[in-house]
């Protein structure tokens, strides 16, 4: 199997120091854990370097990999029963790593778009209520986590879903082209492509700002 790499950069001069194997194909997101370990989301998709055509959907193999500070492999999980669920984005929530996924398989098959993994334990898949199984249209665009909640957004579905840290569904809220998600002060902020920023809670969405800016898919708290 071809393996991709993660680059280590020195930020003062923005120079590349070295690279490490990601132990998978198509690393898409990476998170630094408080103890220095690194979590890497390997999406599992080979793409054409010219036109980005997806080349291996029938046999793609995403995984979530844990690396030591020196790049050594510590642990890894995959989803053999959902091997076409590309692991794309990560958020840290206590000892667990939340991972958001994008389904590349049969669109009529209901699959979860969020998982929780505490290294050393099996992953927990966060399933929505049966009546909302297709709400996100198989696509989680961003993920964010507080001390007791995990949130994923879907611009395709025009919705977000919130879960507790046991993987139980808490709420679903709707807004067209909703995708950016971050946490500041222990609370969720989400953005949409229509120029709005929202506070997201268990009970609903509250507008924080409205502008002409068409927000893209990701939001970072500084």
Out of 47-56, 74-83, 150-159, 171-180, least confident range: 47-56
Task: State residue 3's pLDDT score.
Answer: 62
More confident site: 9 or 179: 179
Question: Is 80 a residue whose pLDDT tops 80?
Answer: yes
Mean of pLDDT values over 12-24: 90
Give tens-digit pLDDT for 109-136: 999 999 999 999 999 999 999 999 999 9
The model's pLDDT over 90-115, given as tens digits with 9 standing for 90+, comes to: 999 989 999 999 999 999 999 999 99
Residue range 36-44: mean pLDDT, rounded: 96
What's the pLDDT at 171?
A: 98
Confidence at residue 141, expressed as pLDDT on a 0 to 100 scale = 97
pLDDT value of residue 2 = 55
Rounded average pLDDT over 193-207: 96
What is the structure's pLDDT at 213?
87
Averaged pLDDT, 154-161: 98
Average pLDDT, the chain: 94
Per-residue confidence band for 17, with pLDDT thresholds at 50, 70 and 90: confident
pLDDT given for residue 1 in this prediction: 46
Q: Say yes or no: domain 5-210 is CATH 1.10.10.10.
A: no
Buried b vs exposed e over 86-100: b needs ≥16 C-beta within 10 Å? bbbbbbebeebbbbb
């Amino acid at each position: 199997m071809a393996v991709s790499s993660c680059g280590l950069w020195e930020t003062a001069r923005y120079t590349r120091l070295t690279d490490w194997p990601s132990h998978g194909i198509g690393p898409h997101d990476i998170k630094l854990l408080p103890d220095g370990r690194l979590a890497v989301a390997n999406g599992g998709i080979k793409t054409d370097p010219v036109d980005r055509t997806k080349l291996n959907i029938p046999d793609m193999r995403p995984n979530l990999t844990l690396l030591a500070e020196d790049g050594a492999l510590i642990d890894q999980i995959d989803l053999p029963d959902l091997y076409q669920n590309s692991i794309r984005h990560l958020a840290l929530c206590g000892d667990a790593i939340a991972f958001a996924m994008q389904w590349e398989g049969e669109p009529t098959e209901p699959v979860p778009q969020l998982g929780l993994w505490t290294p050393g334990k099996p992953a927990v898949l966060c399933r929505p209520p049966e009546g909302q199984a297709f709400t996100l249209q198989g696509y989680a665009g961003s993920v964010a986590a507080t001390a007791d909640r995990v949130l994923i957004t879907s611009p395709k579905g025009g919705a977000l879903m919130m879960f507790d840290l046991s993987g139980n569904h808490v709420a679903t809220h709707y807004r067209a082209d909703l995708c950016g998600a971050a946490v500041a002060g222990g609370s969720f902020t989400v953005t949409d492509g229509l120029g709005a920023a929202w506070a997201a809670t268990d009970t609903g969405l509250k507008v924080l700002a409205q502008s002409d800016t068409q927000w893209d898919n990701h939001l970072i708290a500084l």
